[in-house]
Structure 1
Amino acid sequence: MLLFISYVILLLVDGTKTDETNTETDLALDKPASSSSHIIHPPQAVNDGNTGTTWGSNSCFAVQLADYDPWWQMDLQVKVKVTKVKVTARSECCPERLHDFSIDVYQEQPSNSAPKVCYFYSGSVSNPGETVTVTCSRPVTGRFVRISGKNKLNPEDVLQMCDVQVFGVAISTHFDSCASLVQYKQQHSTKTPLKTISEGIDNTAACAAACERSESCTGFSIRHLPATVCELLQGEISPSLQADVTWDSYVYQGCFSVCE
């Protein structure tokens, strides 16, 4: 039987946490990416942490010549209030191919939801390797960020870029103001833990507190005997649960959509 543990979270965690040098966190780094088409380098080349700006550096992406409705997108995997996006052009050739593009944010897969416009960039990038910082006309909340080319100038013109970074506030499900923890007794997740904690955790509340402090944590599994072990989990958890008498699992369940 499911046990609901409800409580109110009074503070939202800012996804753009800063370190001592006030460096912003790129929420797009290593997130799943896809595209309408691609040439040689996969969509993931744009946000894999390789900041090279030449085709030979394997960090640039381009769609196929015959693609007349080009787009590139990433799944941020959590709901994010997007405030700005940085897009970098290729340096040794054709920076002007980065032109007239729209940046849109979607709550769900773009095929199932309507776009929210972050910004429409009009004109072309003229400087080789230039990084364009686009601030959203207004912050928009969603999970998927898509960059779409809107004006194919000639048959040789393609949507092309070498790096994309996304900044904003990551909003985890368990920070909804009426979120609940759902308990699954004697069940253990088979997912690879986000983090395993075996020291300083001696009860369920302590494990839950550790999960709350992590933006990516969507639930946890805890074992009490012979020693307490807390496994923080991320993503979809319920399908991964399997019977195990030595463990209990808890999954955050949101109850409303974040207001714009």
Structure 2
Amino acid sequence: MFSISLVLTLICLCEVQTSLGHHPDLKNVAYSKKVTLSSRYHRVHYPGWNAVNGVLSDFAHSGHERSPWLRIDLGRNFRIHEIEVFARSDCCTHQLHDVDVKVGKRTHRMRLCGHITGYTRTGGRMAVWCPNHTVGRYVQIQIVKGVSNYLSPAEVVVWGKPVHGGF
């Protein structure tokens, strides 16, 4: 039983790390990077790094608040092509809706890459394609509608490539 679980986990990890649908230059530049949540649900459970660990069966979880967000520090600037946000596969589609996706070189100067309106399905995928020449070190997803929400994505994948030269 353990070996079957290990194989399935490795298959999921490979699927999130490389995709046949993307240009070969693009990589998931968010994998294993530092993640900050606007708040934490029950302090010790569901940490932010669950959203960038390549495993779709766990998730990050914010506390209940107005406009919760999750921010990924990519460590350096990348040219960002697409950002995918995967919903939890167990429940709670109401915890991923009406999301702004922002990219920036600094946390206080982020630009809107795209907006996703409405809800996704359980285990669903939301995607934003960034405008050409979008460069940044930080990627943030934030629920922007509603009085108070939880944010609990299973995974955030940032497709990008290193920046070379004067970008």
Settle same-fold status: TM greater than 0.5: yes
Q: With the length of structure 1 as denominator, give the TM-score of the two structures.
A: 0.51
Question: Aligned residue for 2:146?
Answer: 152
Distance change >3 Å, CA 107–CA 88, structure 1 → 2 = same
Query: SS of 1:34's equivalent?
Result: strand
Question: Aligned residue for 1:61?
Answer: 60
How is 1:23-62 mapped onto 2 (pairs within 5 angstroms)?
A: 24-39=26-41, 40-52=45-57, 59-62=58-61
Which amino acid in the other structure matches residue 122 of structure 1?
T
| Separation in structure 1 between the aligned mates of residue 62 and residue 154 of structure 2, nearest angstrom | 12
Question: Aligned residue for 1:3?
Answer: none
Residue 123 of structure 1 and its aligned partner are, at CA, apart by: 1.1
C-alpha contact (below 8 Å) 2:38/2:62 kept by paired residues: yes
Distance change >3 Å, CA 158–CA 25, structure 1 → 2 = same
| Separation in structure 1 between the aligned mates of residue 19 and residue 153 of structure 2, nearest angstrom | 27
| Separation in structure 1 between the aligned mates of residue 143 and residue 132 of structure 2, nearest angstrom | 21
Residue 51 of structure 1 and its aligned partner are, at CA, apart by: 2.0
Bigger relative contact order, structure 1 or 2 (CA pairs below 8 A, ≥6 apart)? 2
Question: Aligned residue for 2:125?
Answer: 131
How is 1:105-254 mapped onto 2 (pairs within 5 angstroms)?
A: 105-108=103-106, 110=107, 113-125=108-120, 127-152=121-146, 155=148, 157-171=149-163, 175-176=164-165
C-alpha contact (below 8 Å) 1:84/1:136 kept by paired residues: yes
Question: Aligned residue for 1:229?
Answer: none
Structure index of larger Rg:
1
Question: Aligned residue for 1:92?
Answer: 90
Query: Sequence identity, in percent?
Result: 23
Q: Which runs of 5+ in 1 are unaligned?
A: 1-16, 53-58, 177-256
Q: CA RMSD in A?
A: 2.5
| Separation in structure 2 between the aligned mates of residue 143 and residue 62 of structure 1, nearest angstrom | 22
C-alpha contact (below 8 Å) 2:27/2:161 kept by paired residues: no
Runs of 4+ in 1 over 6 A off after TM superposition: none
Residue 140 of structure 1 and its aligned partner are, at CA, apart by: 1.4
Residue 137 of structure 1 and its aligned partner are, at CA, apart by: 4.1
Which amino acid in the other structure matches residue 85 of structure 1?
I
| Separation in structure 2 between the aligned mates of residue 74 and residue 124 of structure 1, nearest angstrom | 22
Which amino acid in the other structure matches residue 77 of structure 1?
G
Residue 96 of structure 1 and its aligned partner are, at CA, apart by: 3.0
**What CA deviation, in whole Å up to 9, does each residue of 1:105-130 have, x standing for no partner?**
1112x1xx3111110111111x2101
C-alpha contact (below 8 Å) 2:116/2:126 kept by paired residues: no
Matched residue count: 146
Query: SS of 2:51's equivalent?
Result: helix
Q: Which runs of 5+ in 2 are unaligned?
A: 1-17
